[in-house]
Structure 1
């Protein structure tokens, strides 16, 4: 595992079991990490498998959060950065990845604020859709 990713996870407020689940490197996790590294040459990269937070079988790779800090994002609006990440991960998104949370920053934005926003709790999809009650 990348040292930057390891430090980010270790310094977080997640429980030790959550940290282990988020950084288990299955094939999709590894593919996401490699593709983002190759495409953006980030100064900071975090890939977090948040599938354990959802109603999916243990070991699933369906819900991810990525934090990508790259000079490649300079001068690009947030929506364009997200589109670039989505393009790089198109195969994963067309396959088994159900959800992808993206935090994309330039190095100067990261230097000013390196906070990684926590993900919200799973609401269970349609079970919590107010229009379905």
Structure 2
């Protein structure tokens, strides 16, 4: 597990996830111009905190938890944000 993946995992704990899966897809994007500015990640997070929230609100919650990593170390973040009832 990469350092950035560990940091993502730590920061997302503020959402009290029931499930959290982070996949680092950076190697698949090697050579891509944007890849130099940060990694490519796929995120699945299941949290009760998302209940009653729109997709956009959920994504904002994730970005708030991730903080400066989104600007400094992540080039692309694909996310699936679900409540326990949605899985």
- Shorter-chain TM band: 0.7 to 0.9
Instruction: String of CA shifts for 1:71-124, please: whole Å, max 9, x gaps.
Output: 0000001110001101111211111210000100000001xxxxxxxxxxxxxx
2:15/2:65 contact within 8 Å kept? no
Residue 96 in structure 1 maps to residue 73 in structure 2: yes
Bigger RCO (CA 8 Å, 6+ sep): 2
Q: Could you tell me the TM-score, scaled by structure 2's length?
A: 0.86
Q: Which runs of 5+ in 2 are unaligned?
A: 32-37
- Residue 35 of structure 1 is matched in structure 2 by 11
* Distance in 1 separating the partners of 2:64 and 2:16: 16
Q: Which residue of 2 aligns with 1:71?
A: 48
Deviation of 1:55 (Å): 2.1
* Structure with more strand by fraction: 2
- Structure 2 CA distance, aligned partners of 1:84 and 1:70? 11
Q: Cα RMSD (Å) of the superposition?
A: 1.2
Classify the secondary structure of the residue corresponding to 1:84. Answer: helix
Gaps (5+ residues) in structure 1? 1-24, 111-133
In structure 1, distance between residues paired with 2:85 and 2:61: 19
Whether 1:26 aligns to 2:2 is yes
